[in-house]
Chain A
Amino acid sequence: SYVLTQPPSVSVAPGQTARITCGGNNIGSKSVHWYQQKPGQAPVLVIYDDSDRPSGIPERFSGSNSGNTATLTISRVKAGDEADYYCQVWDSNSDHPWVFGGGTKLTVL
């Protein structure tokens, strides 16, 4: 089945830019979606279809996808952005169509 690889952790100072990667074989040919999960809460969709933001998600959140890497970028990071972030794709070529990455813990220093 398709595998998505995320770094376990990313650290960034407030006001800086955080970049969280999601690696997969030719992931650029797929649509990538990103979820934010704060402790004790359900995940929240923050980016869908590589770079679209759902209503209510700040413009500071953006996404890109090319080649073998998709990236979630969070600009002007705030303490409230500290959370786990998961990427997800739909793999039409497998029997396991919904695939999640292992998650990345974003720490705001």
Chain B
Amino acid sequence: QITLKESGPTLVKPTQTLTLTCTFSGFSLSTIGVGVGWIRQPPGKALEWLALIYWNDDKRYSPSLKSRLTITKDTSKNQVVLTMTNMDPVDTATYYCTHRPSSGWYAHYWGQGTLVTVSS
């Protein structure tokens, strides 16, 4: 059974750096083809893809946010960390951690999401 869970602050101030951790179980990020990604959703708005890290440490970022995002993995801990710098109120959203299967270009499993509010 694959599960993912996001953790991190629920409130950050403008200009601060957000660090979110995804802790997962039921699969290994050392399995060929597997990836873990982050997707966010502002309140009442659509899903927005942010970043993805693959089993081989290859990383992909949303071009519009690339300069602010860093994604890393700790395979031994079954964790993926996303950092986003220079947070702004428009970054207020629910942030989801997702599992990308080895044979597909989609998010098969999702975490429950964590709401991050950016406010002073």
Contacts and interface: CB of A to CB of B under 8 A. Distances in A.
A42 B96 contact: yes
Interface residues of B, number: 22
B96 A45 contact: no
Given A48-B104, A48-B108, A96 B49 contact: yes
Given A48-B104, A49-B104, A90-B105, A100 B46 contact: yes
B112 to A, nearest CB: 6
How many A residues touch the partner, as a band? 20 to 34
A33 B49 CA distance: 14
A100 B108 contact: no
Contact of A86 (B46, B111, B112): B46
Interface of B: 37, 39, 46-49, 52, 60, 62-64, 96, 104-113
